Chains A and B, each alone.
Chain A
Amino acid sequence: MADATFGGYSRFDLELEFVQCLGNPAYLNFLATQKLLDRPDFVAYLAYLRYFAEPKYACYLSYPGPTLRALELLQQEKFRKEILQPTVMHRMVEEGIKAATGDRT
């Protein structure tokens, strides 16, 4: 079962890619507009993806900071509702960039 591929990619490959895409606030906004964040099975999947916080899986992340931060935020329902608004998304983009450039203002 673990060897099964979908579209030529293993399940871990696809989950790794997806979880890192969550680091992009624009993508989160897109998911919200698709009403995906309201579905309980999707929310359960996001909770399941928290295994990437463990060191033995986290070492595969190329963008660990934004990825894990977004993952934690997504566990909160308030955030899932608010990320639908573009202003919130833009603020998240700004904060992400400021954090990356080490701007402590």
Chain B
Amino acid sequence: MDAILQAQFQRVETALNTLIDSITSYNPSTQAAVNLVAADDELSKGLEQLAVHQANYARILSLRQTVTSLEGQLKGSLTALADLRKELLATPATTFPASSRHVPFDEVLQFAKNLAKYTAPSAIRPPPAKEVAPPEQTDQADVNMSNGVGTPANRGANDDPAKEKGDGKAQSTLTQAQKDWLEEASRAPFMPWPTDNIIRGGALGHIQGMINRGQDPATVLGPAEQEAEDKRRAEEVEREKQEQQEREAEARRRESAYVSGARPTQPPQAVFQGLDMYDPDEDE
């Protein structure tokens, strides 16, 4: 590139010198001027080529940079992959010893979830060192008091912002903490077994009610049996209706036989219209 430009500069210089010489020797030659112009054009072209050359060079440099960065990325990915593979092979897989018992843990967890409702009261906090009485005693008064003592002590940090909120609002609205406390106080004490209400409301209580009313539980049908019974009755009703319809159809046929038998005699009897006592539709 430089050599090309050098040559062109040289040509411009020569042409210029020739022209100057020709002018200083009072022998202006237009050819020299033309040569100069041509050389100048060549030079411009050369400069453009230089610009393109430099752009290309810059592009080459940037592409080289991209290549190195991508190579680096690739190397990094491959090393990471190799490390992961090593790690994966190194993690020990648990093998169950032959003596272990198969535990259906998902069933056990499901069972535990179902039981949680009945095992401990919903607002349970494990009794810590301080005197928080468990909120279930058979004495109702104790329940209210222990709840009153226990709840503020347990609510700790939530109390202050809750109280401030309470002061800011109107008196009719209660803060969440107060609402919860009221609900706890009114709720019946928790028992980890079915209470009297639950027992009375269950199947055995229901049967006891039936006995008290004089209804024999042995005659009461279960839901499946009841359905079967209902279906049978419906079928019977259907059958009866069909028979009824058949009987009616029979009767109508008999009547129509009567009618067709009676019709030929009608015109001769037209004279006795008023005295005609025979009504073909009447069925004795």
Q: Which residues of A are at the interface with B, using a C-beta cutoff of 8 A?
A: 3, 5-10, 13-14, 17-18, 20-21, 23-27, 59, 62-67, 90, 93, 96-103, 105
Contacts and interface: CB of A to CB of B under 8 A. Distances in A.
B136 to A, nearest CB: 5
A17 B120 CA distance: 20
Given A8-B221, A102-B120, A103-B134, A97 B192 contact: yes
B221 A17 contact: no
A8 B87 CA distance: 63
Given A8-B220, A23-B193, A97-B134, 13 more contacts: A6-B218, A7-B217, A7-B220, A8-B221, A9-B203, A13-B203, A17-B203, A59-B107, A63-B115, A64-B115, A96-B192, A97-B190, A101-B126
The 8 closest A-B pairs by CB, nearest first: A7-B217, A5-B222, A23-B193, A100-B192, A7-B207, A66-B193, A24-B193, A9-B203
Interface of A is mostly: helix
Contacts of B191: 24, 93, 96-97
Contact of B115 (A13, A25, A62): A62
Interface string B165-194: 000000000000000000000000011111
B88 interface: no
Nearest to A96: B192
B206 A24 contact: no
B202 A17 contact: yes
Interface string B96-133: 00000000000100010011001111001011000000
Contact of A20 (B111, B115, B193): B193
A101 B217 contact: no
A93 B138 contact: yes
Interface of B: 107, 111, 114-115, 118-121, 124, 126-127, 134, 136-138, 190-196, 199, 202-204, 206-207, 210, 217-218, 220-226
Contacts of A103: 127, 134
B224 to A, nearest CB: 8
A98 to B, nearest CB: 7
A97 B143 CA distance: 13
Contact of B193 (A5, A6, A96): A96
B31 to A, nearest CB: 116
B204 A14 contact: yes
B104 to A, nearest CB: 9
Contacts of A65: 119, 192
B136 A97 contact: yes
B136 A101 contact: yes
Given A59-B107, A59-B111, A101-B121, A7 B203 contact: yes
A5 B217 CA distance: 9
Contacts of B138: 90, 93
Contacts of B115: 62-64
A24 B194 contact: yes
A62 B134 contact: no
B134 A101 contact: yes
B134 to A, nearest CB: 5
Contact of A24 (B107, B120, B195, B221): B195
Nearest to B219: A7
Contacts of B193: 20, 23-25, 63, 66-67, 96
Contacts of A102: 120, 124, 126-127
A100 B119 contact: yes
